[in-house]
A and B are shown apart, each in its own frame.
Chain A
Amino acid sequence: MTFSDWIAEPVNWVFAAIGLAVLFSGFRVVTSKNVVHAALYLVGALAGTAGLFLLMSAEFVAWVLVLVYIGAVIVLFLFGIMITRAPTGLDESLSSDQTAMPALLSAAVFVVMTWASIDAFGTELLATVGEATSTQVIGESLLGRFVIPFEVVSFVLLAALIGGITIARRDLTPVEEEERMSV
């Protein structure tokens, strides 16, 4: 498929527009000088990704992405920002000077992912426009063929949860314990 064939399809224009928006938001997440703005650009990047999933007729994945990442994870980010400090202005100390290594790392990840997906699928058509994958099929494959990876992922989440509690928890000294009891 040549580039002129590719660009002749209107759906590819939408893809290109959303893709560019995601790239821009992703870039602004790391360069923004205001921590709340950075979190909101992350919302933009995730919403764009959900849009790309919708474009591939993967309704379920798209809305789960909105529900879990935009609706819960970023909201927790904002919550964390607001109970610690919530500056409305710019914070010059927010950006790090060390940009070379992370940029290199990101480029390496991009190359590996692109190579892997082109190697695996090539020009194979993964989804047809207008044919939504039914949630029932996804549910059955998650609890059938992919049940072991599915459970392993939830086990990893549990481990992360316990790890987080262990790190954040501080055992009280006897004096503090007594104070707490008396309240």
Chain B
Amino acid sequence: MSLAEFGIVFLRALMVFGLLLVATIVNIWAERKILADMQARIGPNRAGPFGILQTVADGLKLFFKESITPRKVELGMYMLAPFLAVIPAFLIFMMVPFGRPFTIGGNEVALVGADLNIGLLFVLAMSSMAVYAVVLAGWSSGSKYPLLGGVRATAQAISYEAAMGLAMVAVVVYSATQGDGGTLSLVEIVERQNGTWAGFIPRWNLFPQVAAFVIFLLAIIAETNRAPFDLVEAEQELVGGFHTEYSGMRFAMFFLAEYINIFSMSAIAATLFLGGWSGPTFEDSVPAFISAILPTVWFLLKTYAIVFIFFWLRATLPRLRYDQLMTLGWKGLIPAAVVWLIVSTISMGFRQFGAPWG
């Protein structure tokens, strides 16, 4: 591997890191502003124009606060848990292509952290790793409320992971019919959604796989422990849930992980269902640099559209009761995902190979 190639790999990882940090700052501010607007309040408006620097101020404050360590904690696990929350959240986004590849000095730079052959599998593996942080934080705190939060998180993550995986399988099967053989690479899946049907409908997986999209969306909201599925940190019942005993920078890391997860999972949804960075680039009518940047703009717009749904649902729906959560997961989403997978696979088989009796 030459120095230039190594540099490009390093640059890509750095780009993902930077993008996620900026996205988190924007996300937290956007959530507070959008929630405030929906509740007829003003929201943060002091730090910077429209209060956009509020998150930076909060982050600095948390950074300088004391990280209190309660006496009864299991020190090793207690210190490790915040890192276990952040790392998988970052790694998930490494798989997401966020723009069209461009060329610098003869080297092609793909706008993706890493293009793995088994990208989607990696995403699933990392999203299931994320539950360790919550479980270990809850357990190692040596306190009742965090433990309950940890137990709830485990049950919830396992229930909704199955539905999420099945929804992904339906997309993988569909995109296998759109190109040469099946693929689990997110880069490939985006490229297969390029172009339009009948000249104006984009070839997004959303239209043929709309049921999978709905299931996937509900499952990622539950996976990221967001309202209305935020029983893990239900403040009326569990104080702060798994992070009750955390303060200062360690608490900030859990917070960071939650918002990175929202952004990463929305990006995965945009990639799988909304065509990722694909979109019109108007190559003939605008300067070259604009048409090079447009795919990234499309990607961010699609991702933020899904992030907006997260905030919208939080402002709209009350929290589910625990048994309702389990019923929705096991009796609602998983059977629906299985049925949809069978139906869509059979219909694709008909289209691909013709009816068995014909």
Contact = CB atoms under 8 A, between A and B. Distances in A.
A67 B150 CA distance: 20
Contacts of B124: 67, 71
A76 B128 CA distance: 12
B58 to A, nearest CB: 32
B290 interface: no
Interface residues of A, number: 25
B155 interface: yes
Interface string B158-199: 100100000000000000000001111000000000000000
Contact of B182 (A66, A70, A79, A139): A139
Nearest to A50: B125
A138 to B, nearest CB: 10
Interface stretch (A57-65, A93-101, A107-115, A159-167): A57-65
A165 to B, nearest CB: 14
B15 interface: no
Counting contact residues on chain B (CB < 8 A from A), the size range is: 20 to 34
Contacts of B138: 82
Contact of B125 (A40, A63, A76, A86): A63
A127 interface: no
A132 interface: yes
A136 interface: yes
Contact of A67 (B74, B128, B154): B128
Contacts of B139: 36, 78, 82, 86, 88
B121 A79 contact: no
Nearest to A65: B125
Nearest to B141: A88
Interface of A: 36, 40, 43, 59-60, 63-64, 66-67, 70-72, 75-76, 78-79, 82-83, 86, 88, 132, 134-136, 139
B155 A79 contact: yes
A135 B128 contact: no
B118 A60 contact: yes
B129 A135 contact: no
Contact of B121 (A60, A72, A76, A83): A60
Nearest to A36: B139
Given A75-B135, A88-B74, A59 B128 contact: no
A132 B135 contact: no
Contact of A72 (B77, B158, B181): B158
B129 A71 contact: yes
A86 B147 contact: yes
Contacts of B116: 59
